[in-house]
Amino acid sequence: MALGHISVAGVSDINENSNAANILNSFWDSCVRETLRAAPWDFNTVYITLAQNSTYNIITNWSYAYQYPSNCVRVWRILSPISGSSTVGVFPGIYPNTSVNSWNCFNMQRQKFQVRYDPVNNSKIILCNTAQAIGEYSVPITDVTQFDDMFVRTLSLKLASYACTPLINDDTKAAALMKLAQDSASDAMRMNEEESPTEKNSESSAFLDARGGGGPVSPQFWNSPSISQ
């Protein structure tokens, strides 16, 4: 696909000793990693409780330091757990006969954080003000059968942009292909959001808290008489 984007004949074997194959192979690993970092693709995004770092000396305004996961390509969000006892009930009058048996989850609102360098452990560190932080991040996937279709398109455009100049010596086309790759990643982010919309019932404000919390139905109202009928 990458060679097709720059109008160069394809290769019969990616391991063959041809100029095109050698150039593509030289860029492959970095292009895959860059494309994995370009968007929170559904196929390689995970939620993991982060391990706290006990040796890092926090001298800034952050309260907690967490180890940067060894298999992390990019951290997208830091989330905080929502504590509370498990609740069983129904949504009266709004979603009748719908049972809910758990209220333990995590806050989908973005928590502030910074990624910095830990000189003691010679590794990255995640700084935030969130206790028991949960990381939403991308992991490296090398199995190409797991790649999303939009990821394949974005990867092929990015690979073509890097291979364009050494293969056909056209910097203008290389820049145009890179722009297409960026646009493709943006389209993928929008499609991911439409397919897996962020939960909105974790929003909080004084107005919502005074009425029992955010979202369409708060848990303390599940077994209360309905006011919507």
DSSP 148-163: -HHHHHHHHHHHHHHH
| The pLDDT value given to residue 228 | 37
| The pLDDT value given to residue 102 | 37
Distance CA 120, CA 220 (A): 47
For the chain, counts of helices (H) and of strands (E): 5, 9
pLDDT digits (tens, 9 = 90+) for 110-135: 789 999 999 988 999 999 999 889 99
| The pLDDT value given to residue 104 | 46
pLDDT < 70 regions, the chain? 83-108, 196-229
| The pLDDT value given to residue 118 | 93
- Name the token pair of 185: 């990643």
Nearest-Å Rg of the Cα atoms of the chain is 23
Distance CA 203, CA 192 (A): 21
Q: What residues form DSSP beta bridges with 111?
A: 78
| The pLDDT value given to residue 19 | 94
Coil, strand or helix at 67: strand
Give the 3-state DSSP-derived string for the chain, with helices as H, strands as E and coil as C. Answer: CHHHHCCCCCCCCCCCCCHHHHHHHHHHHHHHHHHHHHCCCHHHEEEEECCECCCCCCCCCCCEEEECCCCCCEEEEEEEEECCCCCCEEECCCEEEEEECCCCEEEEEEECEEEEEECCCCEEEEEECCCCCEEEEECCCCCHHHCCHHHHHHHHHHHHHHHHHHHHCCHHHHHHHHHHHHHHHHHHHHHHHHHCCCCCCCCCCHHHHCCCCCCCCCHHHCCCCCCCC
User: What are the backbone angles phi and psi of residue 108, rounded to the nearest 5°?
Assistant: -80, 0
What residue has token string 């279709």?
A: 149
| The pLDDT value given to residue 28 | 95
Provide the Cα torsion 66, 72, 74, 79; round to 10°. Answer: -50
Distance CA 5, CA 25 (A): 16
Distance CA 25, CA 31 (A): 10
| The pLDDT value given to residue 4 | 94
Q: Is the pTM of this model over 0.85?
A: no
Percent of residues, the chain, with pLDDT higher than 90:
52
